[in-house]
A = this chain, B = another copy of it.
Amino acid sequence: MTNPTRKRGRPRLLDRDVGLDIAARLFWERGYEGTSTADLTKAMGINPPTLYSMFGSKEELYRRALDFSIVRENSRRLEILQSSRPAYDALKLYLYDIADGDTQPDKPRGCIVSTAVLQHAEENASVARMTAALREASMQILKARFDRAIEEGELPVQTDTDTLARFYGAIIQGMSAQACDGACNAQLKRLVDLALTAWPGKRST
């Protein structure tokens, strides 16, 4: 009898995505250096060899957990940003969504990427380069949206979109840091409102 949905060999006890979800949550809370493989195997209910056969190494598991988390937390957010809304409105909703993500109940504070692996041991330099690249990519997406806003006549043609992206990138990273320190959702959204007054052409109050 052949069951095409079943493979040969002993079946896995732990689904890969369930494992990644558990790992992402731990890394989100404790960071890369603050999460041990013993923490991970214990939370997943597996033994060390199972973790290594499933994910290769701690570093590779971190990469996969970040990808997993980004896909889940960032997809709707990116659609908002890149929608047909005016750029200013899209940015506002995007930043509000990040403020919500930074302060979800029953989830770790802040963003898993924005404030990850900034200071680190030398041996973790490659992990730090990875998170830095993710943050850089995030700012490039902002810049691309602002460039589009110029094309669509929503921003002056001489706007320095690189600096504008870096500015809102800093806001996002600052919000994550402050969420880690205990800031509430309303405080972050007031911060966003103020940051939006730096939008070219807007008047601050």
Contacts and interface: CB of A to CB of B under 8 A. Distances in A.
Nearest to A178: B170
A160 B116 contact: no
A77 to B, nearest CB: 18
B191 A166 contact: yes
* This chain's copy number in the assembly: 2
Contact of A121 (B34, B170, B191, B204): B34
Nearest to A190: B163
Interface size class of A (residues with CB under 8 A): 35 or more
A39 to B, nearest CB: 8
16 contacts: A31-B33, A32-B119, A34-B120, A35-B121, A118-B177, A118-B180, A119-B180, A167-B194, A169-B174, A170-B191, A171-B174, A197-B204, A201-B204, A203-B203, A203-B204, A204-B204
Interface of A: 27-36, 108, 110, 114-116, 118-122, 124, 132, 135-136, 160, 163-164, 166-167, 169-178, 180-183, 187, 190-191, 193-195, 197-205
3 tightest A-B CB contacts, nearest first: A170-B174, A31-B119, A34-B121
